[in-house]
A and B are shown apart, each in its own frame.
Chain A
Amino acid sequence: EDQVTQSPEALRLQEGESSSLNCSYTVSGLRGLFWYRQDPGKGPEFLFTLYSAGEEKEKERLKATLTKKESFLHITAPKPEDSATYLCAVQPLGGTDKLIFGTGTRLQVFP
């Protein structure tokens, strides 16, 4: 069964304290892995797509990496405005565009 597991469930960081969020996945074949940011009461905002193992993408303080079994979202020197829930989703190979989402990591960055 296709599955996505994110850890930790919640993370509290002090401003400037770098860390990583994990997304482990099990799919029969991977078309793409997606990272989203979600603020309270809002829809998810697209951050990155990763397609193959070894790929990396960067945007400001965020860097996403991908292996055959997991993806990491590295946050370097976070600021309070990075506080949000980060969602990971995988799109299996096949005839539909279905995304399978993890339950997210709730990040709080305090000054």
Chain B
Amino acid sequence: DGGITQSPKYLFRKEGQNVTLSCEQNLNHDAMYWYRQDPGQGLRLIYYSQIVNDFQKGDIAEGYSVSREKKESFPLTVTSAQKNPTAFYLCASSSRTGTNQPQHFGDGTRLSIL
């Protein structure tokens, strides 16, 4: 079954710790995205990548980092510089960039502070 797999489902971060969220897709999509969802707010774009080895900052990139070494994978690291990391993190992908192809989402990772 083709889709987007995010892991882990739940993650806990200690003070001063970096944590990495995994996102893998087997849809052969070129573009991948990371969003953050907070209660009462719309999804906000953290980073996106339109092609391997290239990525761009979204609206709220501070305190986060990404890499795109393989087409299928787009991991997100939440660094200790992100002072309010508690949120639901969603990864998405779409087949072509520069078009109105829909973005398809994984089932998210919920990050909490210990």
A residues adjacent to B (C-beta < 8 A): 4, 31-32, 34, 36, 41-46, 49, 51, 87, 89, 91, 95-104
If A43-B90, A102-B42, A104-B42 touch, whether A49 touches B102 (CB-CB below 8 Å) is: yes
Q: Which residues of B contact A32 (CB under 8 A)?
A: 100
Q: Are A91 and B100 in contact (CB under 8 A)?
A: yes
Q: Are B102 and A34 in contact (CB under 8 A)?
A: yes
Q: Which residues of B contact A91 (CB under 8 A)?
A: 100
User: Which of A4, A42, A95 makes the CB contact (< 8 A) with B42?
Assistant: A4
Q: Which residues of A contact B45 (CB under 8 A)?
A: 98-99
Docked pose: A97 CA to B101 CA in angstroms: 9
Q: Are A41 and B108 in contact (CB under 8 A)?
A: yes
B residues adjacent to A (C-beta < 8 A): 4, 6, 31, 33, 40-45, 48, 50, 56, 58, 90, 92, 94, 97-98, 100, 102-108, 110
Inter-chain contact total with CB atoms closer than 8 Å: 61
User: Which of B40, B94, B104 makes the CB contact (< 8 A) with A103?
Assistant: B40
If A34-B102, A43-B108 touch, whether A101 touches B43 (CB-CB below 8 Å) is: yes
Name the distance in Å between B86's Cβ and chain A's nearest Cβ: 15
Q: Are B102 and A46 in contact (CB under 8 A)?
A: yes
- A–B pairs, 19, beta carbons within 8 Å: A41-B107, A42-B107, A43-B6, A43-B92, A43-B105, A44-B90, A44-B105, A45-B105, A46-B103, A46-B105, A87-B43, A89-B42, A97-B33, A97-B50, A97-B97, A98-B45, A99-B103, A101-B42, A103-B40
User: Which of A42, A51, A99 makes the CB contact (< 8 A) with B43?
Assistant: A99
Docked pose: A31 CA to B50 CA in angstroms: 17
Name the distance in Å between A19's Cβ and chain B's nearest Cβ: 22
Q: Which residues of B contact A102 (CB under 8 A)?
A: 42
9 A-B pairs closest in CB distance: A32-B100, A43-B105, A101-B42, A101-B43, A46-B102, A43-B107, A31-B100, A44-B105, A103-B42
